[in-house]
Amino acid sequence: MLENAKDFLNRLGPLNETLWGLPIWVVLVSAIAVGLLTVVFKLVLRSILGKLAINSGLASKPLKYLELIIKSISTFTLIVLSINIVLKFFNVPPQAASVVAKLTTIVLFLQVGQVLEIVLNPAIGKWLEGATNVPRSAHTLVFFVTRFVIWIVICLLLLDNLGINVSALIAGLGVGGLAVALAVQNILGDLFCSLSIVLDRPFEVGDFIVVGDLKGEVERIGIKSTRIRSLSGEQIVISNSELTQGRIQNFKRMEQRRVAFKLGVTYQTPSEKLKQIPEMIKNAVDSIKDTRFDRAHFLEFGDSSLNFEVVFFVLKSDFNFYADIHHELNLKLYEKFETEGIEFAYPTRTIYNINE
């Protein structure tokens, strides 16, 4: 039996020569085994994807993630895994085993990075789902930063597993990063402020905001700056860092507008009429749609008038709507006071002649 085996090996001729420390015929058999095993892996994965596709209507989110993960597995990854399995049955030289081990480590880490992207991207997309009015450039920034962090971590871990000392590399990156950060600190500041606006959402496109002495409607939120259309028509470009450092008044999110104003009547107004004025004001406010009366009080004795303070609410935030409401209320009060013989006060001065 042994002689027959030796005779068979002798007949192989050149195939009996060694390659990478193994007979060539062993290498060929291993290659065929790797190819067959890769085909088997592909068929198994395709079968799993087929079953997931059949149940796609009932599949839960974890199963959908599983489908995406399976689709991300490349043929090269399957080949590397097949090589590892096949080489378990042979006594491989240490150098070849080391090369295969390093190749396997690289492939597995790259695959882990792809899986993290598949899992995190939908989560981040759902997180930004509410920010529908934020421009796509800001969304892209969030995804870019996420991918950058993922692959930086993957690369550092990969280098560490390959036996490379990453401590010096991290220190070098830290010094270099500090130098770059100092050189472009203003640009980086605006980039992170843009990210802050996206996540915190103090305003959105279409909101009417006031920042310091600037006021207008937000037209575009960019990566470096935000564009605002002012009431007088010109476009104001303001950096995102300046926006996030200042106090922002967002009138678009105001559910209702509180209106407080004063009106004065003359000192010659009879006390009975003074008592009726709050009720007159209340009736005038209540007669106007989308308003809510709060109070009206005889507040103070002015220099030349008896002053009333009026507070009411306009139940819509639009400024033009508020202006129309106040316009209508002023007309109603003027007509009512004119009918009742109540005079509005204005600054007057009475001069007495002491010689008379």
Q: Tell me, what's the pLDDT at 56?
A: 56
1 pLDDT above the threshold of 60: no
Whose tokens are 């990453």? That residue is: 166
Instruction: Give the Cα-Cα-Cα angle 142, 143, 149 (nearest 5 degrees).
Output: 90
The pLDDT of 199-203, averaged and rounded, is 77
196 neighbors 189 (Cβ within 8 angstroms): no
5 pLDDT above the threshold of 50: no
CATH of the domain spanning 202-250, picked from 3.40.50.300, 2.30.30.60, 2.30.130.40, 1.20.1260.10: 2.30.30.60
Q: Tell me, what's the pLDDT at 113?
A: 82
324 three-state secondary structure: helix
Render pLDDT for 298-310 as a digit per residue (tens, 0 to 9): 999 988 899 999 9
- Report the distance separating Cα 29 and Cα 42, nearest Å: 20
| 162 vs 247, residue with greater confidence | 247
Q: Which of 99, 181, 199, 96 is nearest to 142 (CA)?
A: 199
3 pLDDT above the threshold of 50: no
Share of the chain above pLDDT 90, in %: 21
Render pLDDT for 221-231 as a digit per residue (tens, 0 to 9): 877 788 899 88
Q: Tell me, what's the pLDDT at 317?
A: 80
Assess if CATH 3.30.70.100 describes domain 257-340: yes
Tell me the Ramachandran region of residue 207: left when phi exceeds 0, alpha when psi lies from -120 to 50, beta otherwise: beta
**Claim: this prediction has a pTM higher than 0.75:** no
| 67 vs 23, residue with greater confidence | 67
Give the chain's end-to-end CA distance (angstroms, integer).
Answer: 153
Question: What amino acid is encoded at 44 in this protein?
Answer: V
The pLDDT of 146-150, averaged and rounded, is 79
Domain positions in the chain are 8-127, 202-250, 257-340
Mean pLDDT, all residues of the chain: 77
Q: Where are the beta strands (DSSP E) in 99-224?
A: 208-211, 214-221
Query: Which residues are within 8 A (CB) of 259 and not within 5 positions of it... i.e. 6 or more apart?
Result: 311, 312, 313, 314, 322, 326
| 250 vs 307, residue with greater confidence | 307
185 pLDDT above the threshold of 50: yes
